[in-house]
Amino acid sequence: MSHDLTLHQRRRVPTTAELDGIPWLGLLNPQERAHTLPRLVVGDAFGGDVVCRIGRAPTYWFGVIDGLLKMNIDTDKGDSLTFTGVSRGGWFGEGTVLKREPYRYNVQALRPSVVAGLPIETFHGLLSASIGFNRFIMNQLNERLGQFIAAREIDRINNPDLRVARNLAALVNPVLFPGVGELLHITQQELGYLVGLSRQRVNVALKRLEAAQWIKVTYGGIRILNLPALRSHTLSLT
């Protein structure tokens, strides 16, 4: 697959397995599903590919079939400020698509990822006609609000261990990222990008969280053992 082609130029028809990874498809009635399936596309993103760019008008509502994305902006000081990660099963940008306004953030692939797209007009058509789709979007918006309130709280946390814990909890949110389950496929370097810490400091935090039996670091990822603890506002580690 050529790196010279844009992600949009690399779009293709989703496989059956990829369609099975789209959580809201099962909420559509047969007629709605039959109308929607031919319009869904997927793209194979390389690490570093920009899926959404600040200032661009939305043309699709996007979701992650597999891989990991980050949502971020560039500050006036030239730094990159990451809001959140988007892991497997997550769909994002519904607020922007609803308002048909330009993106206020960038979304970039941290690793090779499979990204699905639903055309914006199909999105609005389902919103007008499908009760199941409406409920999914309302749940998304409600959960997203809580996520960004939590993200503001994380910005004020000086304890690196707690920052890592809360970010892990956000990445396995069962409503926003139903495809993740208890095993989060992520490297310490990728987690460092999302949290704003060095890989070495992330490693220290993970060891402390593992000692508390909140997580288990395994080959290929991090197994979540105690999600309520990761979401807590206190961390009693020595």
CATH code, domain carrying 133: 2.60.120.10
**Of the candidates 117, 135, 14, the residue with the CA atom closest to the CA atom of residue 58:** 117
3-state DSSP assignment of residue 107: strand
Q: Residue 79 is part of which domain span?
A: 16-151
Say if residue 31 is in the same domain as residue 138.
yes
User: Residue 159 has what pLDDT?
Assistant: 85
Residue 7 within a domain? no
User: Residue 238 has what pLDDT?
Assistant: 45
Spans of the chain, pLDDT less than 50: 238
User: Residue 52 has what pLDDT?
Assistant: 94
- Alpha-helical (H) ranges within the chain are 16-20, 30-36, 94-99, 120-129, 131-155, 160-171, 188-195, 199-211, 227-231
Say if residue 127 is in the same domain as residue 197.
no
**Residue with tokens 């490297």, as numbered in its chain:** 187
CATH number where 226 lies: 1.10.10.10
Say if residue 52 is in the same domain as residue 170.
no
pLDDT (tens digit per residue) in 119-162: 999 999 999 999 999 999 999 998 888 777 666 666 666 788 98
Residue 1 within a domain? no
Last residue of a domain, one of 114, 131, 151: 151
Report d(CA 207, CA 203) in Å as an integer: 6
Report d(CA 91, CA 157) in Å as an integer: 27
